[in-house]
Structure 1
């Protein structure tokens, strides 16, 4: 399988709601077109940024459908189908396959602390449900499970496993996963704050929650790393991190902050779903400052 289409900048797609907090077809497609026009290589649909754990199956299927209708065949689409139960995950996996997605991905099962045999079975049953390739998702800070090298190596025996989205903070994990796999395998850097470091230590690509609000900066970071311009790569990572720290300093969920910044950039995708908190009125001036900070950083590199 040619894995080149899985290399590049893959924004983790945001949940798009109407003013009543329901999944919006129009706003979902608006965000699709916005990101496609920015030149991203693909999208990761239905993960943490998509507020998946706060949506029911029909809402998640709707988002998968609207994104596929807008962009299937234009860019690479990865469907995150992780859910609390194996049954629901398989339902989403089969639906994504019907829609023409390029690959599946899933976090490990959450809430109960399960043995690795259960996690292995969970991922394997998702893989067995379709013919699509599969990308493991390691995000221990939210799931409570750190993907072990032994389970990783066991999963690699399944030919459908083509990659891992590694969102643990140590870049060592990226290097170890890359070293354990063949060259014909994609490691996605997860933490946006270490995109450049992750790429330099072995990541082939990136999936991130803040990419959607500043795709230009990550596309440039990808170009700098790929061309060997490491001085500029370090500089742009510093600017990206300044923006992320500012986003995380506001009241409310970071995702609500991202959505408010997007509104200022001309894309209204609503707010977040409770229990995630919306941005407080006291922070709207800071949101404007962050939007200006992003625009200034972009102009510094494109001007």
Structure 2
């Protein structure tokens, strides 16, 4: 799906923090520029990997503004605007549209567990009603984190009653069959499906996906870009095998501290290992084991 708004490789961009836990805007912005200059087509900013649910609304708005003023085209940013309340989602989405972003990525309301499908329909209907054609809405399916899966029935119902409002979905379920169900049900009508799973990216593209949005891309943007360009040939398959091995290394711990540790190692900048509580940096033993596995992969 080459004409998708965010077609290709999208890093779920990391956020840098200072030692006093304030947001390091300059370092975050520099990392985003690096990603765009090294294989990424666009960036999913202010998402899960960005530790966004540990940021204030003001921090979220300020970071997006500063990313745009730094020279990053707003059309290359898909900001997360998810929150548990409709007014905050609307505020952040309107702000993203004002900055110039064509789309926003919206989590389901994740505080209340096991909401009914009707409740989810009403939540997204309220967003559609208040945002209309202001900005394109992208669903964010991440049931391991939210405990709320987004079904094809729900999405189909919303697409029917709000045509032109909901543009696509990021599927972080890790279930290839689930991703494929979105593609088979909706891709023919221009609905963009993005993979959150590194290990099946080539297969996902072969099935008709629009691209990927992943945390591992922060440390493997060029490798992921090679898969996107070559997913149907031997070069892409070889790149996929290496990315799959890297993803198995990332799975040694919680994704955000692991990816931050590997970025700190790669850049020789230990400040990248700083996280906002309740997230914590890796223990020294876990960090050593992780780096040893990563070094071994780089030597292959």
With the length of structure 1 as denominator, give the TM-score of the two structures: 0.87
Contact conserved, 2:4 with 2:210, CA < 8 A, in 1? Answer: no
CA shift, 1:238, in A, is 2.5
The superposition leaves residues 40-83 of structure 1 with CA deviations (integer Å, 9 ceiling, x where unpaired) of 10011111101122222122222222222234427611111011
- Alignment of 1:141 with 2:139, yes or no, is no
Change (3 A) 1:88 1:279: same
Equivalent of 1:273, from 265, 272, 276?
A: 276
Q: Kindly report which structure 2 residues correspond to 1:210-221, keeping only aligned pairs within 5 A, or say none.
A: 210-221=216-227
SS in 2 for 1:14: coil
Match of 1:61 in 2: 61
Equivalent of 1:166, from 164, 168, 171?
A: 171
Cα separation, 2, equivalents of 1:74 and 1:132: 12
Match of 2:126 in 1: 125
CA shift, 1:237, in A, is 2.3
SS in 1 for 2:78: strand
- Alignment of 1:179 with 2:184, yes or no, is yes
Over the residues paired in the alignment, what is the CA RMSD in angstroms? 2.2
With the length of structure 2 as denominator, give the TM-score of the two structures: 0.88
Contact conserved, 1:247 with 1:258, CA < 8 A, in 2? Answer: yes
Q: Kindly report which structure 2 residues correspond to 1:3-18, keeping only aligned pairs within 5 A, or say none.
A: 3-18=3-18
Contact conserved, 1:93 with 1:129, CA < 8 A, in 2? Answer: no
Cα separation, 2, equivalents of 1:44 and 1:127: 21
- Alignment of 1:286 with 2:292, yes or no, is no
Change (3 A) 1:293 1:10: farther
Contact conserved, 1:127 with 1:133, CA < 8 A, in 2? Answer: no
Count of residue pairs brought into register by the alignment: 291
SS in 2 for 1:135: strand
The superposition leaves residues 124-182 of structure 1 with CA deviations (integer Å, 9 ceiling, x where unpaired) of 33334441111111111111122122111012122121111112222222222122223
Equivalent of 1:193, from 178, 182, 199?
A: 199
Long gaps (5+) in structure 1: 298-303
CA shift, 1:263, in A, is 2.1
CA shift, 1:294, in A, is 5.7
